[in-house]
Structure 1
Amino acid sequence: MRKLSLKLGIIFFVTLFCIETFMMFFLHASLANSRVEEELISLQARGNSHRTILEGNFDRETLAHVALMESEASTDVVIINNKGNVLATSRPQLNIDAYIKGLNVSVPYMGQTLEGNWEEEAFIATISPINEGQTTIGYVLMIQNTESIHMLMERLNKHFLMVGMISGLVTILIIIILSRKLAKPLIQMKEATLKMSKGDFTVALATSGNDELADLSKSIQLLADDLKHVKQERKEFLSSIAHELRTPLTFIKGYTDILYKRNLTEVDKKKYLGIIIEETNRLSHLIKDLFDLAKLDENSFVIEKKRLDMHLFFATIEAKLSPAFQEKQINLSIQCEEGLTLMADSLRLEQVIINLLDNALKYCTAGDKVVVTVRSTNQSMQITIEDTGKGISKKDLPYIFDRLYRVEKSRSRALGGSGLGLAIVKELVHAHGGEIIVRSDENSGTTFEITFRGAGNDENIIINR
């Protein structure tokens, strides 16, 4: 307990110290810069004022008058000609060599700052050019000691030191409170998370109460349960992926070896190359599905919604799939209201519908029916795909949208598939803002129902013409 309370105290202390330090440096810099800026503006204004006088009378008498005016002020003036020679100064002992090195550079008529680094230099300085017509005949340098700025910063530092001492006492009080009221439940949570970090998710925390600590305890408990489930799912997922990848690779390698090592007839070569191409396509499809799922998980899957004519959309799908259904002697019927449109990504929605119809094609036999119904009700669109195929058992039904889950445990090549199709369907439907449910009874057929609801704004999903 002491260790945890001490850590918490150190964290709070360091946090407050960092905040105070940041505030001090920020205010210090802001006040210093503001003060220096004001002084530089004032210096520049005085220099420009002297410049105006000297442009009217640039003689010894005026030069002496300007120097005399500044001799009693807190600022100093140095007047030089365009060659850098000093003509007049309010303080003869001033060394201005460092300030006139850049006189070969053009100085704006309104003047500029020569030295603004108050922290490292003893003076700040500005320069104003003295012009006669279009020619610069000299310069007015205004110089001010930075001692007053340093005195202001010293006073400010003392004030912040007092604030820091008070904050330190408050921090000690917080440490005492934390050690009494927060340490014990936090230690329990720490031990629970330590077990979780080692892969042991069988933690039990007290979740009674309605305060933030109870909420945190409930969250950690929920996290432990979820991680336990995720760990099991990941194990099964990796095992399934390994199986899915190994099968086509085994075929590809085996038949490639046969082609390489044996003298085969052209018929056998075409046969084996056909198998290699088939397995390569299967592997490519699996990788594409995995890539799509990865993009959906990362929210990097782009859904480009456009207004779709649903009657035309389903007519196109029917034209694509009818030959496959006719070949298996399965009756495909699509019923869609005319004039019904949907804001959706045509390619992704087609991927959803074709995937569901492909599943129906696989699990139906000759004489079965597949009926697709599209209708609009109460600002929503419902797409129903119903078949009279072999159906799905009650024990399999809750898991059919899980990745790599197969109703066919035999993983037969005839039924094929990677077990990722329905997972992608669900993610794509959700990406469109829709919902998908499934109803099925073994040997009585399966019904998939997709619902898209209107958004109530300019991006309404359902539009009736």
Structure 2
Amino acid sequence: MIKKGMRRQIVLHYIFVVFVALLLVEVIFLLAIRTYYYDSVYSKITTHIGTAEDFLKYEISGERSPNQLQKLLDFFEMDYTELQVLTQDGNMLISSTGFQPDRTITTSDVPEAVGGSVGRWVGRQPGTNESVMAVSKLVHINGRETYVIRYVTSMERIDSDLLNLTLVSIGIGSAVMAIVVLFSFGLANSIVKPLKNITAVSAQMAKGKFTTRIKGDYRYEIGDLASTLNYMADEIIRSNQIKDDFISSISHELRTPLTSIKGWSETLVSGGYDPEETKLGMGIISKESDRLIGLVEEILDFSKLQQNEMKLSMGRVDIKVLLQETILNIWAKAEKKRIHLLLECDETFFIKGDANRLKQVFLNLVDNAVKFSPEDSSIVLSAQRLTGSELAVIVRDSGIGISEAHLGRVRDRFFQVDALNGGTGLGLAISQQIVELHGGKLEMDSELGKGTQVTVILPMTEELPPEAPQAENLL
């Protein structure tokens, strides 16, 4: 007995389907063979009747007489059958066997013959209990005498042949079922064994052993499942590595300003410095404190986005004004590298969004452009209407660019193209999620050594009249 499980279900279902199919095929086949044999006997008798009737109208004439009935027997006689001549009431007048001439026939073939058709009846012969077929036909002699010609032939031999054929069919069906059972076990094993292997490897992965892999050249859905689990393990390892790199990076990012703050604090506490040196130290402390606050806020923003807890204060946003503010905020940093910030936006565009969060996105994009652009270069910010009701804000630089291998991952959380430039690797990930919260999308095109173009596509809103108040709501 097969124990409960998928193997048992597959085997039982497979056997059941094949068994039902075989049963239907054999039943239809045997019924067709039986019908063919029985129809062949019936057709042979009806053909003989038709031939005999053609000769009958030329050979027999006169009144009814025993000689006339005998002539009927001679004309319609057929090998291996009993021929009976009946009245329309079913009374037997004469039989080719010579027995029971006074018997009345009550089977259904006689009324059918009297009705004008060729009657047919299959059943058991009274007395002998033999399987027979009776075929009856109404015959007219010279338009005056009417008789029912009835043929009775044994079907025992045909039934015996059909029985033997049935037994052979059952034997063949049993052999087929035996083969099906063997194949069903093979089929079940081909599905169950890979699943058991996948389950075992998955259990190892659940325990943290992500270096374990599903081995085997599996096909179709099982192969897809194995590939997906292996890919999942690779992604978990990559995510863990990114997380470890992030922890290492953020530790360094936090340690550097903290070291500066601690060093200058101890220095200033010791006293003895002129006002200029004290001012310099306090400036460094303030700058590094702002840097720490920025790092912490970036991590908090990412945490809120991951938990779907970020709230947007929605209102009408003038994109041109927002880009101008972005340039003013980043101008001092760009000026240090003699980078020119250009704004190309002649029209006024309005969207429905959170101005502060959108400004955070554009600041991050422009800051990245400044960070990775060479001195004496330019960064262009532009806004243009797309087809339909969409707006595209483009930040284009001529910096170092991003390789094709990194372009697909640059928006992943914690990923940094150049770890030496600092940062958490969360800026683009946060920016993308903020854009998506506004119903937009962020696209990047870059070529190594030639620069990068980042496009933020946002849905536009109907322009409101200047006197209309800005509607705000929390999402």
How far 1:333 moved relative to its partner? 2.0
Provide the residue aligned with 1:303 in structure 2: 312
Question: After superposition, what is the alpha-carbon deviation per residue over 1:152-200, rounded to whole angstroms, capped at 9, x for unaligned?
Answer: xxxxxxxxxxxxxxxxxxxxxxxxx9xx778645532331123212323
Letter in 2 for 1:435: K
Change (3 A) 1:317 1:251: closer
1:18-29 matched pairs, under 5 angstroms: none
Provide the residue aligned with 2:253 in structure 1: 244
Task: State the alpha-carbon separation in 1 of the partners of residues 3 and 194 from structure 2.
Answer: 14
Provide the residue aligned with 2:456 in structure 1: 450
In the alignment, structure 1 residue 317 sits paired with structure 2 residue 323: no
Provide the residue aligned with 1:227 in structure 2: 236
Task: State the alpha-carbon separation in 1 of the partners of residues 405 and 336 from structure 2.
Answer: 32
The count of residues paired between Structure 1 and Structure 2 equals 282
Question: After superposition, what is the alpha-carbon deviation per residue over 1:359-401, rounded to whole angstroms, capped at 9, x for unaligned?
Answer: 2233345532221111112222211111233444555544433
Q: Select which of 380, 383, 389 maps to 2:393.
A: 383
Conserved 8 A contact 1:201-1:227 = no
How far 1:292 moved relative to its partner? 0.6
Provide the residue aligned with 1:131 in structure 2: none
Question: After superposition, what is the alpha-carbon deviation per residue over 1:202-234, rounded to whole angstroms, capped at 9, x for unaligned?
Answer: 3115684666x6765554334323222222222
Task: State the alpha-carbon separation in 2 of the partners of residues 319 and 232 from structure 1.
Answer: 38
Conserved 8 A contact 1:390-1:445 = yes
Task: State the alpha-carbon separation in 2 of the partners of residues 323 and 249 from structure 1.
Answer: 24
How far 1:317 moved relative to its partner? 3.5
In the alignment, structure 1 residue 421 sits paired with structure 2 residue 430: no
In the alignment, structure 1 residue 199 sits paired with structure 2 residue 209: yes
In the alignment, structure 1 residue 360 sits paired with structure 2 residue 366: no
Task: State the alpha-carbon separation in 1 of the partners of residues 376 and 217 from structure 2.
Answer: 57
Conserved 8 A contact 2:210-2:234 = no
Provide the residue aligned with 2:130 in structure 1: none
Task: State the alpha-carbon separation in 2 of the partners of residues 285 and 395 from structure 1.
Answer: 29
Letter in 2 for 1:436: L
How far 1:345 moved relative to its partner? 1.6
Change (3 A) 1:354 1:190: same
Letter in 2 for 1:285: G
Conserved 8 A contact 2:246-2:424 = no
How far 1:290 moved relative to its partner? 0.6
* Identity rate, percent: 29
Provide the residue aligned with 2:356 in structure 1: 347
Letter in 2 for 1:198: G
Letter in 2 for 1:305: M
Provide the residue aligned with 2:411 in structure 1: 401
SS at match of 1:439: strand
Question: After superposition, what is the alpha-carbon deviation per residue over 1:42-91, rounded to whole angstroms, capped at 9, x for unaligned?
Answer: xxxxxxxxxxxxxxxxxxxxxxxxxxxxxxxxxxxxxxxxxxxxxxxxxx
Change (3 A) 1:210 1:442: closer
Listed as ranges, the gaps of 5+ residues in structure 1 are 10-176, 455-460
1:23-102 matched pairs, under 5 angstroms: none
Task: State the alpha-carbon separation in 1 of the partners of residues 260 and 325 from structure 2.
Answer: 35
Quick check: which has more Rg, 1 or 2?
2
In the alignment, structure 1 residue 440 sits paired with structure 2 residue 446: yes
Listed as ranges, the gaps of 5+ residues in structure 2 are 10-184, 465-475
Question: After superposition, what is the alpha-carbon deviation per residue over 1:247-276, rounded to whole angstroms, capped at 9, x for unaligned?
Answer: 222222333333344644443333223222
Task: State the alpha-carbon separation in 1 of the partners of residues 418 and 228 from structure 2.
Answer: 37
TM-score w.r.t. the length of structure 2 is: 0.51
SS at match of 1:410: helix
In the alignment, structure 1 residue 293 sits paired with structure 2 residue 302: yes
Q: Select which of 274, 281, 285 maps to 1:276.
A: 285
Conserved 8 A contact 2:397-2:451 = yes
Letter in 1 for 2:426: L
Task: State the alpha-carbon separation in 2 of the partners of residues 265 and 3 from structure 1.
Answer: 89
Letter in 2 for 1:440: S
How far 1:449 moved relative to its partner? 1.5
Task: State the alpha-carbon separation in 2 of the partners of residues 295 and 275 from structure 1.
Answer: 30
Task: State the alpha-carbon separation in 1 of the partners of residues 423 and 238 from structure 2.
Answer: 25
Task: State the alpha-carbon separation in 2 of the partners of residues 374 and 336 from structure 1.
Answer: 5
Across the aligned residues of Structure 1 and Structure 2, the Cα RMSD in angstroms comes to 3.6
Letter in 2 for 1:291: L
Provide the residue aligned with 2:341 in structure 1: 332
Change (3 A) 1:261 1:311: closer
Provide the residue aligned with 1:77 in structure 2: none
Letter in 2 for 1:447: Q
Letter in 1 for 2:241: Q
Task: State the alpha-carbon separation in 1 of the partners of residues 366 and 250 from structure 2.
Answer: 24
Conserved 8 A contact 2:323-2:381 = no
SS at match of 2:300: helix
SS at match of 2:351: strand
Task: State the alpha-carbon separation in 2 of the partners of residues 442 and 200 from structure 1.
Answer: 34
In the alignment, structure 1 residue 190 sits paired with structure 2 residue 196: no
Conserved 8 A contact 2:323-2:362 = no
Change (3 A) 1:293 1:260: same
